[in-house]
């Protein structure tokens, strides 16, 4: 059974991750990190996931500092490609399209 963590310790600084198309989620606690990792699809898990989950459990039991678990979670998020960059993907795509259209227009031969 995959139980969610109920005991909690707040992070000094939240970890922002991208969920869905342009939506940001802030992970603000140890329990949120662990629960997010436990809910991650099994087929998409790898070594960074396993390391982050173990680090969170070790932080919960006091074996490692919370900051170490946070760093492991960030490494997992980087590997998974879900770190929040602050750039809305819809806006980024729209701006790229505008730049392409402008470049084409600027490079067309004048008649």
Q: What is the DSSP letter of 6?
A: -
**pTM of the complete model:** 0.73
- At 1, the pLDDT band (50, 70, 90 cuts) reads very low
pLDDT at 12 over 90: yes
Domain edges within the chain = 10-86
Please write the tens of the pLDDT for every residue from 37-94. Answer: 999 999 999 999 999 999 999 999 999 999 999 999 999 999 998 998 877 667 777 8
Distance CA 5, CA 57 (A): 10
């Amino acid at each position: 059974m995959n139980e969610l963590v109920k005991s909690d310790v707040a992070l000094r600084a939240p970890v922002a991750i991208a969920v869905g198309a342009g939506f940001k989620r802030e992970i603000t606690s140890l329990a949120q990190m662990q629960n997010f990792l436990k809910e991650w699809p099994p087929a998409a898990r790898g070594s960074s996931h396993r390391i982050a989950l173990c680090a969170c459990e070790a932080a919960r039991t006091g074996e490692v500092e919370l900051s170490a678990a946070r760093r492991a979670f960030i490494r997992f998020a980087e590997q998974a490609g879900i770190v929040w960059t602050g750039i809305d993907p819809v806006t980024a795509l729209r701006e790229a399209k505008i730049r392409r259209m402008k470049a084409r227009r600027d490079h067309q031969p004048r008649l």
